[in-house]
Amino acid sequence: EALPTEHVRFVDAGDRPVRKVALCSGAGAEFVDRAAMMGADAYVTGDVRYHDAQRAAELGMHVIDAGHFGTEFPVVATLVNRLREELRGEGEVEVIADRESKDFFSLA
């Protein structure tokens, strides 16, 4: 519900309770092993490929694949504020937030 997406894909790793969640916005499938190594019970990211999902299940870690857009777009406002703060006093620097983009993918 918190992410701007119509659906998510879910890898069910069994009865493992979720106490610790790892997050990587965008395409973070390459970090499945790292998230598991850091003790994550579930991993939220986008663009998870089949074998990465399989690896997560083998490691006993649930995965929520909310898509590339669904995990990146929510960060825009926070990043804009941070950049404006960091660049204050650096002259004429304009930081513009994209508030109109939509996910390219939809369900058929």
Q: In this structure, what CATH number is given to the domain that contains residue 26?
A: 3.40.1390.30
Asked whether residue 79 is domain-assigned, the answer is yes
Asked whether residue 64 is domain-assigned, the answer is yes
Q: Residues 6 or more apart from 105 whose CB is under 8 A from it?
A: 67, 69
Whole-model pTM? 0.84
Q: What is the pLDDT of residues 57-78, one digit of tens each?
A: 999 999 999 999 999 998 888 9
Residue-wise over 22-37: b if at least 16 C-beta within 10 A, else e?
Answer: bebbbbbbebbeebbe
Q: What is the pLDDT of residues 15-39, one digit of tens each?
A: 999 999 999 999 999 999 999 999 9
Asked whether residue 35 is domain-assigned, the answer is yes
Asked whether residue 70 is domain-assigned, the answer is yes
Domain of 31, in residue numbers: 9-87
Asked whether residue 28 is domain-assigned, the answer is yes
Number of domains in the chain: 1
**Res 44 pLDDT > 90:** yes
Asked whether residue 31 is domain-assigned, the answer is yes
pLDDT of amino acid 100: 87
Asked whether residue 22 is domain-assigned, the answer is yes
pLDDT of amino acid 87: 92
